[in-house]
Structure 1
Amino acid sequence: MPARPRMLAAAITAAVALGAQAVPAAVAGTAGDPATGPASEVSRGVEIPAFYTPPAELPAADGTLIRSEHLPLALSLPGLEGPLPGRATRLMYKSTDANGEAVAVTGAYIEPAAKWRGDGPRPLVAVAPGTMGQGDQCAASMALENPLRLGDGTVSVGYENLSVYRLLLRGVAVVVTDYVGLGTTDRLHTYVNRVDGAHAVLDAVRAARSLDSATVTAGSRVGLFGYSQGGGATAAAAELQPAYAPDVPLAGTYAGAPPADLTEVTEAIDGGDLAGALGWSLNGFLQTEPALRPVADRYINAEGREALKDLSTMCVGDALFGYGGASSEDWTTTGQSISDIIRAEPVLRDFLAEQRIGALKPGSPVRVATGVSDDLVPHGQSRQLAVDWCRKGATVSYAPVLLPGVGSGLLNHFAPLLTDQGSAISWLTDRLSGEPARSNCGSMPLQP
């Protein structure tokens, strides 16, 4: 079986094991504007609940809860002290994007049924999902309710649910962010945007702590957990937290396979299994930075424009089948690749340089893990992030995941997510219990 179908089959199997139901999402109550309430919308055959339509005006303070409602989990069993693994709440909260503009972000908070047996009050972990796609129907909070969608033009798998449930079983409360523009119907998702992702993660913590139903408080220890796109978001959050969210002190951050250098990642994914992510990146960057629009107009041809439009409504499963193996050379007027154009255009080089993670020192312990055979989100640039932080004096635990390569592509990237997840959760749980972190920066030159 080729790599893409093999990867998707594995993800679907995992989703089914978590109680997947291939059913359309229910329409949420109109909990927004008091007069008429927000209207529901449709993305690629999937109805987006009205809950996800932001109100016309947003509160001033970052992390302010805008609205919330009960979120039915796909896998929920009765228990003596409530449903297992816990009670879920859908959230919408206020954040600030990279341009300093107020944005509404959605997500979910889950109060676990399991007791926290570590030191101190029940802790909270913000989970930053890996790549879900750019269509609003791909949002991670929706995947908690419907982990598997097949048909109606959408292939969506809630693979991130596994890490969420593993944390809940340890008695850790979890808040999941959908990121800026994913789920909310007012704008496109700003895929792998460093600032947008970091702010969405940190403000999710603030929103969760304000819920009446949450047992976590301002005194609860906080951790961040993310892999791939999520690893980039948590890494950025860890280094932006001291300035942006000093009220959210972090006990520890796990950043798995972080795309810290988007110039290298762009070249790696072009022509590969996840080539569709090029479209998500371009769509998001063009929304964030209008100065890039003239460059795009000059270089992107009709086929490229159609691909960007198509990808803007796709989930990761759709993109694997629809654009796996696509070359950006087919999307440009000159026949150059996107990487060639980046090298030729200073405005693009400067923009991506601003997206680079690793220029700031995290104020709390971080664990960076990357598969040494990962050539999709290249191992070298992820490892370099750990090196950069070590040089700044941060407390870094670097973990190379030693797995044999299987050709190239998505499997080399996906396998470490599963094999290292238990170790990552254990490391983070230790930080949430108050155990001090150890740095292995001194041995970095000896590690792959």
Structure 2
Amino acid sequence: MATGLVLVASMAGAAVGTPLYPTPDPDPFYATPADIADKKPGDVIATRAMPPLMIFPDTTITVVRFRSTNSEGRPIAATTTVLTPKQHRRDGPLLSFQHIINGLGAECSVSRVLYTDNPDLIVREAPGWNVLLSRGWSVALPDHLGPNFAYGAAKLGGQITLDGIRAVKQVAELQVQQSPVGMVGYSGGGMATAWAAALQPKYAPELDIAGAAMGGVPMNLVKMLETLGLNSHPVFGLALAAGLGLEREYPDRFPLSDQLNERGLAARAQIANSCTNDILATGAGRGALDFAKTTSMINDNTARAVVEENSLELYDGVPKTPVFEWHSPIDGLIPIDSVVDTDKRWCAAGAKVQSDQIPVPDHLTAAVLGIPAALSWLEARFRGDAAPSNC
């Protein structure tokens, strides 16, 4: 196994560690119902009308709880938050916006942070969302990390995204039963969007998705870890958080905690319920050697398989919906060859892919510069225009 997997490989023959799960949300609305297994993916569990917010003028806010499925096929309860502008017309466009959620706790969820003043959180994105709302689009914002905040579990994010769309379409007062549906996301949100697009033909074949726009997508987590290796990195905290999230999602196959030394366990406790800024601060300038109690290279195929299962480049499914994909060709965070190779594979299988390169050296700058073209592309899909392709 490559050195980059030392932090996420389990020790051969070691006892399975106990994941450190997030603190449960005390609000009973977010509890998992006892009959969850009797429901179908996308079935609505409950809805809640939320107080209006000044940051979204003339917009109603509705939280929808629904049944979804975790990475190992078990039923879970998930959440999406729907913004409905006053100018929305019945069956007007519905956009599922998969936000970047770099978090391990409930306070990082979209359904929660809209009502906080934490500068680490997504209220700062409100001006961009208002652009979408001003077009009359309803916007669904799924908590795509799931109830255990399994950061890094990319396939899970795709399933929750699709089930969130299924659920929203069932809520009569939202008036989107026959709406054309688009999906968009960048980075971690792009990963959930891309997985949703690739999974849809098999996981939710009844859904008609007009188009999926995705940017800065980590298409191959194995390669990301191999690139990181044992070296220190400014954003190593995100790698640690992803490992902890995968352990939560695959507790029997991915016992990361067995690999951690005292400093690693302290860091785990420190970020168990944290969002982006605290996670970054905990791991800034660190590397695997700072938090792992062994440097021996253990070739554990079970642990590696978990990472592979969440690497879209290695998944053989192909989107049926048209795709708009954008990235920086010199992105310092994600392996660009995996993005290019995935685009080529999708093209070869007959998918309509429009790929744009944003010539900047920064991951987040590429997000800002690429989103206007992505939204224009989505607007054309909502109009029913033929999708372009530069395969």
8 A Cα contact 1:110 1:175, kept in partner: yes
SS at match of 1:69: strand
Alignment of 1:331-410 (within 5 A): 331-335=291-295, 344-358=299-313, 359-403=316-360, 405=361
Counterparts of residues 241-256 of structure 1 (less than 5 Å): 241-256=200-215
Distance apart, 1:72 and its partner CA: 2.9
Asked whether 1:126 is paired with 2:87, we answer no
1:337-387 deviation per Cα after TM superposition (whole angstroms, max 9, x unaligned): xxx66xx33223222222221421111101111112311123332233212
Say if 1:223 and 1:251, in contact at 8 Å, map to a contact too. yes
Distance 1:311 1:76, change over 3 A: closer
Instruction: Note the C-alpha offset of 1:233.
Output: 0.7
8 Å contact kept, 1:132–1:139: no
State the one-letter code of the partner of 1:329. Answer: L
Alignment partner of 1:434 is 2:384: yes
Correspondence 1:321 to 2:290: no
The secondary structure found in structure 2 opposite 1:179 is coil
SS in 2 for 1:104: strand
Name the structure 1 match of 2:32.
Answer: 54
User: Secondary structure in 2 aligned to 1:369?
Assistant: strand
| Aligned counterpart in structure 2 of residue 171 of structure 1, from 136, 141, 149 | 136
Q: Secondary structure at the match of 2:77?
A: strand
**Cα displacement (A) at 1:174:** 1.1
Match of 2:47 among 68, 72, 79: 68
Query: Aligned letter for 1:274?
Result: V
Greater mean deviation of Cα atoms: 304-313 or 388-397: 304-313
Q: Does 1:423 align with 2:373?
A: yes
Distance 2:140 2:303 in 1: 34
- Corresponding residue of 2:219: 260
SS in 2 for 1:292: coil
CA contact (8 A) 2:152 2:243 kept: no
State percent identity of aligned pairs: 28
| Matching of residue 283 in structure 1 with residue 283 in structure 2 | no
Distance 2:268 2:278 in 1: 13
Cα distance in 1 for partners of 2:227, 2:28 equals 38
The answer on whether the counterparts of 2:180 and 2:209 sit within 8 Å (CA) in structure 1 is yes
Report the alpha carbon displacement of residue 115 of structure 1 after superposing the two structures with TM: 4.6
Q: Distance in 2 between matches of 1:294 and 1:125?
A: 36
SS in 1 for 2:253: helix
User: Who is 2:266 aligned against?
Assistant: 306
For 2:70, give the aligned amino acid: D
Match in the other structure for 2:11: none
Instruction: Give yes or no for contact 2:240–2:283 (8 Å, CA) kept in 1.
Output: no
Counting matched residue pairs gives 365
136-145 or 248-257, which deviates more:
136-145
Alignment of 1:71-150 (within 5 A): 71-76=50-55, 83-84=57-58, 86-115=59-88, 121-146=91-116, 148-149=117-118
Paired position in structure 1 for 2:9: none
Tell me how large the CA RMSD over aligned residues is: 2.4
Which one-letter code corresponds to 1:209 in the other structure? K
Q: For 1:324 and 1:308, how far apart are their aligned partners in 2? A: 14
Secondary structure of residue in 1 paired with 2:274: coil
| Other-structure match for 1:231 | 190
Secondary structure of the residue that 1:203 maps to in structure 2?
helix
For CA contacts below 8 A with separation 6 or more, give which structure has more relative contact order. Answer: 2
Specify the SS of the correspondent of 2:143.
strand
Q: Report if the CA contact (8 A) 1:130-1:228 is conserved.
A: yes
Could you list the runs of 5+ residues in structure 2 that have no partner in the other structure?
1-21
User: SS where residue 156 of structure 2 aligns?
Assistant: helix
